[in-house]
Amino acid sequence: MTLSHPMTAFLLDYGKLLDQKQIVPFMSEGGYGQGNSVQRISLILRQKGVQATVYTRPLVVDGNKVDRSDYQIERWLKSLN
């Protein structure tokens, strides 16, 4: 229910490169919702001095339903334009 260790390490190492970029979060979850992943991304980026970053609505796919998520993903991608 939180950001994975590899993603946390990536943001700590390269987060500054995301300054003034659009963040498009997507994740799978095991039935408990997205947890605090997006908040952790925001916190880490703020700690790295990243400003003026825009976050889109995250895509959260239930890991138990990933084989039936095509429509959900397609709809989410269209909403990004």
19-70 pLDDT tens trace:
989 999 988 888 677 788 889 999 999 999 998 778 888 998 887 788 889 9
Residue 52: enclosing H or E segment and its boundaries? none
Q: Distance between CA atoms of 33 and 40, rounded to whole angstroms?
A: 15
Position 18 scores a pLDDT of 93
Contact yes or no for 33/62 (Cβ under 8 A): no
Burial class (CB in 10 A: 0-12, 13-18, 19+), 3: buried
Provide the whole-model pTM: 0.79
Position 43 scores a pLDDT of 94
Position 29 scores a pLDDT of 81
Here the tokens at position 31 are 């039935």
pLDDT band at 77 (very low <50, low <70, confident <90, very high): very high
